[in-house]
Chains A and B, each alone.
Chain A
């Protein structure tokens, strides 16, 4: 563990050995014994059940509901429709900032997408509420659904993703293409995808006057608290959210969904605690999705295989009533050196729920297209795909010219290729078969994901008994926050982990920012580190200013905090325990506060990304086109590795999402009605265990002194990037067939 400077008092340092340790998950026993309490596992006294009724049309209005039939069903307490739903303090269609999405919470009878909530049935039992919702038998006034990317006029969005420009240009792409000695142009398509966390969106809501108690999974407690406070006209601090565990989020649980708000309204209406859990099919509408894309790639190279131009144009879709534009073209910003790069987006408005951030938003589909196109370009140049990527290696961020804060991509290529055995790959496709006669193909892709930070806050306490407490309202959706942040917390206080109490997962703790953008460990970790620095500095002041302390007068030299003691930096023989310092000073405890956020100076000086290289082997049945990914090797460099075990799991998970993207996931939409026809886990395929027989992740060492004090980049999303393209390229290498429509299905390979 390198020495880490305190931000407040650079003379002091802290040394701990927790960061970098492969600890098992601190909540492991809870999760393996069924005692980890997820939101829907709560059952306050008097609780009743709410079940949504959702629309089967994509556009129009509800003209009737058989409320009487539902109410007549034994056990039904109330049917909430626009006729009796309490009005909210704030228009749910208000959009005060880009992270505020318009929601349907029964304020009117309009239907704007399939599976939109149109009523809520509350009953004494889950069985009665479920059947009550079915008995409503809605009638509609239906307007034609606008579906598919061809369906209507497109527009240039004002912003894409979290607020980036729709078009960005560097150099002259047309000139670069005109001057090229080889060129490719290809169109790639990616389908609508749904997050489908294993845990359905849920809420257990209980009102006590104007205070509200909520068990609900959220990736952004403070923002969710603010959103709900606004809707109900109450103070955020009167809302207490418990979200200790999320059963997966992937972006769909970031901001408080309409259905969860409906559960809260229902609790108010019936005056009892309410549990509302989405049914799986209801997750195909009101809780976000990844929009479909059609991506046009134009690339040119000179006679040495160096890119002369890279153009990435994306046509995608958003809802008719709100904007989220999948920023897929931005995947081409940072990876390959080219004198001319242009990225652009256009969108159409469809009668769907609003798309939303979904694990690697933009990067995932953008990378699939870019990495496929790079492969096609390499082929056109007659070059090995790895050699081609190295030829076009970006030494600086191509569009801005900024240096990278760190970039160990070359090492990723080297270590991944070595482990995979890439050197033995024949250049031409359809050259390899296994003993059983299956076509074998090898492909690769480059992975990249920006190293982002939001803003987060933390509180750190040192107690007279020598223990410490770190508090932060962080979110564990599986990435390992309970463990990794606790490791950072121990080091931040110069304590052993078992002396450090780590509190997290509730909204009364300091706001940790959003668990998204692969930024949570960096953001929350930096906040914890900063808070630890603050309290250690206070402790050091107590000691160095006290003549009775062996550390008296050491303030200029600084101290080292380690193992519950402070040491003089220039003379480690002189030290004192935290307990002694606090006891003498008469403090039961002292407190520090800290903030984690990007350093604007570093941001303007450096381009910050995590990188990786993914190598895939696929086998394809020569007659049937059935594909299996038989081997995946990913090598990733993402700065400081807080916990190798958990980081590796994040890479595995991301790579499996890449498998899913390449071969499986696909919301089948009926073009006539806009209705998802596979809103279930039997036919909306995500990989099963047998789909991923062999995955390896290599953690490539990388030290970054610019991204944040701890050198942490994100690892949660990068694994998808690179992987989908690597698999597509491997399928081509196996079969000679270039499939440009994802997922790669066997009907597109038949005849291969």
Chain B
């Protein structure tokens, strides 16, 4: 780990000023940043410790029924907040399927949005990576890329976003609140992360010095509470990143889908929201044939970026299953194995 200047500003304004210095990075839970610094992947000259900024560790219920989650709320605290878990069960399930209990106790909401890809070539500093070193090339292309992107990738970068949390948040129209040198702004999470294009080093809409202060879920998101699930395929029962994952949420009126939300994880450099597929479901009956058509549509643009064609079929199937699970209803309690296919009954096509 490189030497750095350490500062712990007392106020948000001071933090924003300190973070605006080139080479500065914000430290909150540290679960990703410390890991990257130890690997020599990141070497910020200034660490701006925001972990104690006042007011950012609260879950606020808004008068319109929405919720504003402070950026410093710990992943575990959010997942276990009773009202939150009841209103946004897919989000709680996604949180509890991520990493380990220890990491969830440390990791923050804001940090989760900014966690960087697990692409091995990004982590391996001897490899070419356009994210680490713009213009260097991408050694993942033509390399060991069984788990890489199938949607939205470019020849400059085929990495994926590893977050579980962001997947249901994207499906539920979450909005990210930022504070920066130019003031406050809010960005829909769906557009917060950037696809790689020719500038994979640009990962989000944030500017230097900007800081996530909160993530908000609108009141409408809670209307899906009765039919919302997160499902995650892994190569180990727990403590593993997703091969692919999906959040599905339905608003049902009797036997009719009023509104559907879908997002996919592990398939692209951002949580993938297939809006056309969602639209197809509105007004339809929640049955396997309909879910299959929606899944086909959701993956219509998918393309293997290497030895990962199987992920396209896997992603298609997980959409079908996640929709079926959502239609069957949210369980009373987050399952013992959150988001696992082994969590409980599969209402199988």
B65 within 8 A of A: no
Contact B120 A668 (CB under 8 A): yes
Given A623-B317, A688-B236, do A747 and B310 touch, yes or no (CB 8 Å)?
yes
A7 within 8 A of B: no
In whole angstroms, what is the CA distance A680 to B118 when docked?
A: 12
The interface bits of chain B over 111-127 (1 if a CB of A lies within 8 angstroms of the residue's CB, else 0) are: 00000001011011111
Contact A677 B348 (CB under 8 A): no
Residues of A within 8 A of B118 (CB): 682-683
B135 within 8 A of A: no
The stretch from A432-440, A493-501, A577-585, A598-606 touching chain B is A432-440
A219 within 8 A of B: no
Given A623-B317, A682-B241, A691-B236, do A127 and B146 touch, yes or no (CB 8 Å)?
no
- Distance between B266 CB and nearest chain A CB, rounded to angstroms: 12
Contact A688 B239 (CB under 8 A): yes
In whole angstroms, what is the CA distance A374 to B3 when docked?
A: 58
Within 8 A of B (CB), among A629-680: 663-664, 668-670, 672-673, 675, 677-678, 680
Within 8 A of A (CB), among B161-198: none
In whole angstroms, what is the CA distance A626 to B242 when docked?
A: 12
- Distance between A61 CB and nearest chain B CB, rounded to angstroms: 16
Contact A437 B348 (CB under 8 A): yes
Residues of B within 8 A of A403 (CB): none
Residue among B3, B233, B345 making CB contact with A436, cutoff 8 Å: B345
Contact A688 B237 (CB under 8 A): yes
B21 within 8 A of A: no
| Closest Cβ neighbor of A749 among chain B residues | B310
Contact A675 B342 (CB under 8 A): no
In whole angstroms, what is the CA distance A682 to B118 when docked?
A: 10
- Distance between A540 CB and nearest chain B CB, rounded to angstroms: 58
Residues of A within 8 A of B102 (CB): none
Residue among B1, B310, B337 making CB contact with A750, cutoff 8 Å: B310
In whole angstroms, what is the CA distance A131 to B38 when docked?
A: 9
The secondary-structure label for the interface of chain B is loop
In whole angstroms, what is the CA distance A664 to B3 when docked?
A: 37
A256 within 8 A of B: no
Contact B342 A628 (CB under 8 A): yes
- Distance between A630 CB and nearest chain B CB, rounded to angstroms: 9
Contact A677 B120 (CB under 8 A): yes
- Distance between A666 CB and nearest chain B CB, rounded to angstroms: 9
Contact B318 A675 (CB under 8 A): no
Contact B236 A746 (CB under 8 A): no
| Closest Cβ neighbor of B43 among chain A residues | A134
Contact B344 A436 (CB under 8 A): yes
Residues of A within 8 A of B236 (CB): 664, 685, 687-688, 691
- Distance between A80 CB and nearest chain B CB, rounded to angstroms: 20
Tell which of A74, A624, A673, A691 has the most Cβ of chain B within 10 Å: A624
In whole angstroms, what is the CA distance A687 to B237 when docked?
A: 8
Residues of B within 8 A of A619 (CB): 342
Contact A685 B240 (CB under 8 A): yes
In whole angstroms, what is the CA distance A177 to B236 when docked?
A: 40
- Distance between B124 CB and nearest chain A CB, rounded to angstroms: 7
Residues of B within 8 A of A628 (CB): 237, 342
- Distance between B280 CB and nearest chain A CB, rounded to angstroms: 20
Within 8 A of A (CB), among B100-146: 118, 120-121, 123-127, 139, 142-144, 146
A10 within 8 A of B: no
Residue among A134, A680, A746 making CB contact with B233, cutoff 8 Å: A746
B289 within 8 A of A: no
**Chain B interface extent, by class:** 35 or more
In whole angstroms, what is the CA distance A675 to B234 when docked?
A: 24
- Distance between B329 CB and nearest chain A CB, rounded to angstroms: 15
The secondary-structure label for the interface of chain A is loop
Residue among A73, A668, A689, A690 making CB contact with B144, cutoff 8 Å: A668
B30 within 8 A of A: no
Within 8 A of B (CB), among A44-66: 56-57
In whole angstroms, what is the CA distance A370 to B320 when docked?
A: 38
Contact B1 A127 (CB under 8 A): yes
Contact B348 A622 (CB under 8 A): yes
Contact B142 A437 (CB under 8 A): no
A621 within 8 A of B: yes
Residues of B within 8 A of A685 (CB): 235-236, 240
B22 within 8 A of A: no
The interface bits of chain B over 190-210 (1 if a CB of A lies within 8 angstroms of the residue's CB, else 0) are: 000000000000000000000
Residues of B within 8 A of A691 (CB): 236-238
B313 within 8 A of A: yes
Residue among A134, A678, A689, A746 making CB contact with B314, cutoff 8 Å: A746
- Distance between B106 CB and nearest chain A CB, rounded to angstroms: 15
- Distance between B326 CB and nearest chain A CB, rounded to angstroms: 16
Given A664-B236, A672-B142, A685-B236, do A624 and B314 touch, yes or no (CB 8 Å)?
yes
- Distance between A282 CB and nearest chain B CB, rounded to angstroms: 12
Given A624-B317, A664-B236, A688-B236, do A134 and B342 touch, yes or no (CB 8 Å)?
no
Residues of A within 8 A of B121 (CB): 677
In whole angstroms, what is the CA distance A643 to B64 when docked?
A: 65
| Closest Cβ neighbor of B236 among chain A residues | A685
Residues of B within 8 A of A687 (CB): 236
A98 within 8 A of B: no
The interface bits of chain B over 331-347 (1 if a CB of A lies within 8 angstroms of the residue's CB, else 0) are: 00000010011101111
B321 within 8 A of A: yes
A751 within 8 A of B: yes
Given A675-B124, A678-B120, do A435 and B143 touch, yes or no (CB 8 Å)?
no
B283 within 8 A of A: no
Residue among B3, B143, B234, B340 making CB contact with A670, cutoff 8 Å: B143
Closest 9 CB pairs of A and B: A56-B126, A677-B120, A747-B310, A690-B237, A690-B238, A621-B341, A437-B346, A437-B348, A436-B345
**Supplied contacts A131-B1, A437-B347, A672-B142, 12 more A-B pairs, CB within 8 Å:** A57-B126, A130-B1, A436-B344, A621-B346, A622-B348, A668-B144, A669-B144, A677-B144, A680-B123, A683-B118, A690-B238, A746-B235
* A–B Cβ pairs within 8 angstroms, 20 of them: A73-B3, A435-B345, A436-B342, A436-B345, A436-B346, A437-B346, A438-B342, A621-B342, A621-B346, A664-B236, A668-B146, A670-B139, A670-B143, A688-B236, A688-B238, A688-B239, A689-B238, A690-B337, A747-B146, A751-B313
Q: Which residues of B contact A (CB under 8 A)?
A: 1-3, 40, 118, 120-121, 123-127, 139, 142-144, 146, 233-241, 243, 310, 313-314, 317-318, 320-321, 337, 340-342, 344-348
